Amino acid sequence: MGKSGTITCAATTFIILGGIALLIAWLADKMKSPTFSIDQAAVSGYNFSTTNYVNATFTVVVHSHNRDPKYKIIYHVVAVSMYHTNDYALGYETLGPYTQDHGDDLLFSARPVSQNVPISDPDVVKAMRNETKAGELRVQVRVRASVRYEVKGWKHKHFTLKVICSPVVINLTSGKTNQSTNCDVDRF
């Protein structure tokens, strides 16, 4: 084998070994989704009218913890929505952008507003009437975020985080929650 054959063989071996190393690194790199919880939720101006319309201003503090040891998370858009049961959107607010370094905590504070939201399902009307009389409103907080994972300027794929926090129980007398609620997170 001549000198050019040896160089070609060495270059080919280097390319193959480098490709295998990159493939192993890519397969071993498993990004972790952040954890979420609702640390505080409050309502002011709550009114469920006799004609079944809801008016309220919610205040929600969403706590996010980036548990990934390598990646920081760039939140482009964060939408925080309030629901009663799974069917009725009561209000939402869009927030962002935010940056969350690895290991850091981030608090999103949102103020979704319900303004004359009609409730037409008789079962939901009954549930909301009972909750109003009992002084506790049970809601579900949903967070949808467009994010990008990044490590040292190297941009990674964009994801959507879908977060559901339920039940979040707001005391209508004090207007606040009494405890934190953990959330389920899906990344796609």
Burial of 146 (0-12, 13-18, 19+ CB in 10 A): middle
Q: Give the pLDDT confidence score for residue 155 in this predicted structure.
A: 75
pTM given for the model: 0.82
For residue range 21-51, what is the model confidence (pLDDT) as tens digits?
A: 666 655 556 788 999 999 999 999 999 999 9
Q: Summarize pLDDT for 161-176 with one digit per residue, the tens.
A: 999 999 999 999 887 8
Cα dihedral sign, 8-13-19-22: negative
d(CA 64, CA 69): 15
CATH: 3.90.1010, 1.10.8, 1.10.10, 2.60.40. Which one for 31-187? 2.60.40
Detail the DSSP E strand segments found in the chain. 35-48, 53-65, 72-84, 88-95, 98-100, 105-110, 113-118, 136-151, 154-171, 181-187
Tell how far CA 102 is from the center of its chain. Answer: 16
pLDDT(13) > 90: no
pLDDT of residue 47: 95
Check whether 88 has a pLDDT greater than 80: yes
Taking only Cα atoms into account, the Rg of the chain, rounded to an integer number of angstroms, comes to 24
Per-residue model confidence (pLDDT) at position 111:
97
Domain-wise residue ranges, the chain: 1-30, 31-187
Tokens of 131: 């909750």
Higher pLDDT, 155 or 70: 70
CB atoms near residue 81 (< 10 Å): 20
Look at residue 9 and tell me whether its pLDDT is greater than 90: no
